[in-house]
Structure 1
Amino acid sequence: MSQSLLKLSKENNTISIHAQPLLEPSKLVERGDIYLQLSAHHGKGLFLFESAIDSAIAILNADKHLSPQAIVIAEQRDASLIVKTAKNNMSASITVIGAYGGRAIDGSLLIAALKQNNIVQGVRKNLLQTLLSKSHQLSSGEKITMQVALGRLPENGKDSVFELLVDDISRRVLKPRELEHDKVDMRDLGELCSVAQGQSLMKRIRATAGIDGYTVLGETLPAKPGEDKPFSFYDGAEVSDYDEDLVIATQPGVPIFKKNGVQVDDALVVKNVSATTGHVNFDGSVVIQGDVKPGMKVTASGSLTVLGFVELAELEAGADITVAKGILGKQSVGDSEYACTIKSGGKITSKFAQYTLLDAKDDICLSHHALHCHITTRGKLSVIDDTKRYGTLSGGYVSVGYSVHALNIGALAGTVTSISAFTNYEHLRKQISDTCRLWDEEKEYLAQMREAQIKLLKIPTNKRPKDLVNKVVESHRLHTANLRRCKESYDKLKEEYIDVLSQVSITAAKRINAGVNCQLEKYALPVSQEHGPSIIRVREQGIELKPL
């Protein structure tokens, strides 16, 4: 095809073809011919109108006379961009489309596009610079998309926390004294913690307000402030006159750490409990500096602390029980009762327990092992030390209100270990069921009120008993309010139950062996083979064991 027959002109950033039939059958125009002509006229890289090119070729190759036409087949285009904001307005991205022979984008164009789309906060300058740099490397029509603005979620405030300022023997049991060369002394637990009058015991760290978040559109996302919790007050301690966030001792004694407060007991201190001293029954706290020998009983209405061993003995306390060195029972014969029993109205903390009945209202924490024990607690069970080197739960029966956490669960020999976790679910479900029953009762009362109202409406206005009308109206208002409260209580209890269920678990930080029978809520899971670090939880599909 002769170039003189193909007339091209460049005006207003476009390239047009003057199309008219060539009437030369042997010289048909092909698409490649058009592309060559475009290259010759610096049309490479321009935006091509492919359908227009097809129309021009059809006219050029027509076998009859047609009126000439000027058809635009290529156009120069500047780089373009599209700004997109996420549905929740927490991020914004820019898509840049490479120029077709025109100008590339510059920084001012990016900024203007963001402002035009109301993206005013969270813009990252470094991301804009990266996008600008990469956009200059785009070929014609090539696209690149980058996130350039990010919102920030609100950071809710933290509730006030209570920091202990004196040591606690139960902490020493779980974290023995550290030695050199990354070793610990499991026997050195320090001396008994006692405090003097006026000594600082607990400090309250105030709640924080939190940090507001924002969207890329500049909308503020308010943070929820933390809750400032008050001290709980117990005997032997009070808030300092000089600092309302500090609790001090009002008498010398042994500190007992409770929820949001401290109690200081004038404790009974004995060296050992044996046949020489006889059984101990004391209204208050008891501290035993040595051991509790076989066959002995110690009862305290307060806390009970034993700095030595407990062997084949009975301990019972209204508050926490701490045994520094360990608890030793003996293997029972047949269905005989345990010869060593520990019952606490608070927590139980010890280094280890063997062939022992442990019963606590709150958590049970053992730092070394629990072997062939009968363990019951309404709280949690932990059999692991702070260094995560020790902690074996093997044999016996375990029933806990919430979660179980141990380093190893079961034994390589396949010792049968029965664990029932989240036993509190029955109590929680009963609360939900009771609330649902009250809700149904209120709905029934309201139905009766509506029937009464319908009957009253059938009575002429001047003959309706005023007292009866007032009584029906007041009853309807009362039961409507009760129904609303029951519904709110039901929704809250159900939400709390689901939240607790999602958190409770049976966790083996290192290994869980075959022979462990697990019960979590109403679901059972027998472990038939050894697993590494594992967690057993309840999910929508039921109970599951997964790697930790």
Structure 2
Amino acid sequence: MSQQPLQLSQQGHTVSLRVEPLDDAEMEVSRGDVYAALSNINANQFFIFENAIDSALEVLNSDSASNISVEPKTIIIAEKRSAMLIVKTSPDLMTASMTIVGAYGGNRVTAKELLSALKDNHIIKGIRKVQLQELLTKGQSLVSGEKLTLTVAFGKPAENGTDSQFKPLVEDISQRVLRPQHKADGTVDMLNLGEMVSVTTSQAIMRRIPATPGIVGFNVIGNDLDCVAGQEVEFTVGDGTAISDNNENLLVATKSGIPLITKNGMQVDDALIVKGVNATTGHINFDGSVVVQGDVTSGMKVTATGNISVSGFVELAELNAGGDVVVINGVIGKPQHSNDGHLACYIKAKGKVTSKFAQYVDIDAGSNVELSLHALHCHIRSQGEVIVLDQFKRYGTLSGGIIEAAYSVKALNIGALAGTPTEISAFSKCYDLRNQLNDTFKLLEDEQIQMNKIREVELKLLQIPSTKRPSELITKVMETKEKHVKKMSSLKEHYRSLQSEYEEVRGAVSIAALNHFFSGVSCRLERLTMNVNEEHGPCRIMYSANKLEIIPL
């Protein structure tokens, strides 16, 4: 290489090599010789054009005798490059990142260049100074060609407002069964659930939290992202309640009684309070709520248009409520049936059914069925969920019997070690949803038939000379068409909404055991069935790729 020195440009930005075939006596030049020469002139950190070096070596090491026509030439083989900056934004413009490519012997990135690059790319909001400082600091130590990428700007998503929310100011009696009282020593008393819930005249029973307007967001280029304001929802003023004269966001009781939480409001039922229901009291049929401060004994019936609350046990009895049923201690039946085909111990509620435990009990609930200790050999039909679990997730065994839930089923343990036959059917709501989908589809088909008839009429009208077309008929056809177009649009939107609800619920329902899922359990979700033939730990059975799978929790 002594005869072929490297040359720096006058500005010191490039390195060139004069090449021509060497004499035969010369030693062959290697790539290492070129690198060593670059190092000798302090250019080893420059960006090297490897292909140019290949071309130079080819000429240098060629046979001079056979390359008489090759003219000496100068080839640029390296150049100095300052650090590069690359700015990228995410497709939604909610983040911006910067990449520094280490300098090849040139200048490192400065803070001014970072800010200029952001400005040139219109990144003006959500810039994080800490990330910029980190990028600048780490960028100084990058070796040639090394890359460092950091996200330096973050947009802020719009926050939609929340609708009005309703906070009960009195306790929900059904939740007390699932939340036993704590003792002074910190332990839990499963038998002590406190006093029965009741309210007095003028007592505040529910607070409305007003809707919020939402917060406008922004992206990194400074565009505002609109938010949707929450909707103001009015109180549902039930019997025995009124909106406070002093505070429009407060609901008060207008009479003493038992509070019942409803959607967006409450009602206060008249309450019949009895010490117990037995042969001395006879059956009870009351227009309002019934509070039994004791047991409901064998063979007795309690019927109420409101809630039924029992502070003791229910044994081989029948409860029928227009609201919720709450049994503090538990419900006990036997494997025997009444004349109507139900188990001899039968509970029916339009609302929720809550108890500590149930065994050999027939339960029909218009909402959830929630038991804190166990459900043994019961037949439960729920229009909501079936949950056998206490608040602390220490107890809850579902074993034996037949369980039918509109949505999910959840317990601490499902089945039994002995393989007790248990049938569980979840997502029975699917049949209602599918029927609604089919009914809506049929209505759409009917509307399409009507639209086809209207088009036939329109074609016949077009065949009549325009001067002879009856204006009244044209007007009537147009009005009819507009009516059916609107109805079809409404039906299509309703169909899409039902389909979306169906898919969402289908993907969420499950049969879940938080501790043990024993063998001997037959599970059904919609039309699919699965028999659990071996014990599993915490898991749930749910839809996955249009089949049922056991998924560990």
TM-score (norm 1): 0.95
Where 2:75 maps in the other structure, the secondary structure is: strand
Maintained 8 Å contact 2:258/2:269 = yes
Partner of 1:485: 490
Deviation per CA, 1:368-394: give whole Å up to 9, x if none.
111111111211211111111111111
Partner of 1:408: 413
Change in Cα spacing, 1:27 to 1:245, as seen in structure 2 (3 Å) is: same
Maintained 8 Å contact 1:346/1:363 = yes
Given candidates 200, 208, 212, the residue that maps to 1:208 is 212
The reply to whether residue 11 of structure 1 matches residue 15 of structure 2 is no
CA distance in 2 between counterparts of 1:20 and 1:272 reads 115
Deviation per CA, 1:444-497: give whole Å up to 9, x if none.
111111111111111122222333222222222221111111111111111121
Where 2:28 maps in the other structure, the secondary structure is: coil
Partner of 2:52: 52
Given candidates 326, 329, 333, the residue that maps to 1:325 is 329
Partner of 2:308: 304
1:202-281 aligned at under 5 Å gives the runs: 202-281=206-285
Partner of 1:37: 37
Give the CA deviation at 1:66: 4.5
State the one-letter code of the partner of 1:11. Answer: Q
State the one-letter code of the partner of 1:513. Answer: F
CA RMSD, 1 decimal: 2.0
Partner of 1:196: 200
State the one-letter code of the partner of 2:328. Answer: A
Give the CA deviation at 1:148: 2.0
Maintained 8 Å contact 1:407/1:511 = yes
Where 2:436 maps in the other structure, the secondary structure is: helix
CA distance in 2 between counterparts of 1:350 and 1:322 reads 6
* Most deviating of 142-151 and 423-432: 142-151
Where 2:491 maps in the other structure, the secondary structure is: helix
Deviation per CA, 1:404-426: give whole Å up to 9, x if none.
12111111111111111111111
CA distance in 2 between counterparts of 1:543 and 1:334 reads 36
Change in Cα spacing, 1:227 to 1:529, as seen in structure 2 (3 Å) is: farther
Structure 1 unaligned runs (5+)?
Answer: none
Maintained 8 Å contact 2:271/2:288 = yes
Where 1:163 maps in the other structure, the secondary structure is: strand
Given candidates 69, 74, 77, the residue that maps to 1:70 is 74
Partner of 1:92: 96
Partner of 1:399: 404
1:529-540 aligned at under 5 Å gives the runs: 529-540=534-545
Structure 2 unaligned runs (5+)?
Answer: none
The reply to whether residue 443 of structure 1 matches residue 448 of structure 2 is yes
State the one-letter code of the partner of 1:302. Answer: G
Maintained 8 Å contact 2:6/2:37 = no
Change in Cα spacing, 1:176 to 1:5, as seen in structure 2 (3 Å) is: closer
Give the CA deviation at 1:122: 2.2
Where 2:91 maps in the other structure, the secondary structure is: coil
Where 1:155 maps in the other structure, the secondary structure is: coil
State the one-letter code of the partner of 2:371. Answer: L
Where 1:427 maps in the other structure, the secondary structure is: helix
The reply to whether residue 454 of structure 1 matches residue 453 of structure 2 is no
CA distance in 1 between counterparts of 2:460 and 2:161 reads 55
Given candidates 169, 178, 181, the residue that maps to 2:173 is 169
Give the CA deviation at 1:334: 12
Give the CA deviation at 1:4: 4.8
CA distance in 2 between counterparts of 1:494 and 1:228 reads 28
Where 1:407 maps in the other structure, the secondary structure is: strand
TM-score (norm 2): 0.94
CA distance in 2 between counterparts of 1:340 and 1:439 reads 46
Change in Cα spacing, 1:156 to 1:307, as seen in structure 2 (3 Å) is: same
Partner of 1:547: 552
Where 2:458 maps in the other structure, the secondary structure is: helix
State the one-letter code of the partner of 2:51. Answer: S
Maintained 8 Å contact 2:125/2:219 = yes
Give the CA deviation at 1:213: 2.9
Change in Cα spacing, 1:228 to 1:334, as seen in structure 2 (3 Å) is: closer
Partner of 2:352: 347
State the one-letter code of the partner of 2:15. Answer: I
Maintained 8 Å contact 1:6/1:19 = no
How many residues matched? 547
* Most deviating of 76-85 and 24-33: 24-33
CA distance in 1 between counterparts of 2:43 and 2:441 reads 77
Where 1:343 maps in the other structure, the secondary structure is: strand
CA distance in 1 between counterparts of 2:59 and 2:8 reads 18
Give the CA deviation at 1:58: 3.9
Change in Cα spacing, 1:284 to 1:60, as seen in structure 2 (3 Å) is: closer
Maintained 8 Å contact 1:275/1:296 = yes
State the one-letter code of the partner of 2:237. Answer: F
CA distance in 1 between counterparts of 2:354 and 2:60 reads 97
State the one-letter code of the partner of 2:380. Answer: I
Maintained 8 Å contact 2:4/2:19 = no
Partner of 2:438: 433
Partner of 2:393: 388
Change in Cα spacing, 1:341 to 1:535, as seen in structure 2 (3 Å) is: same
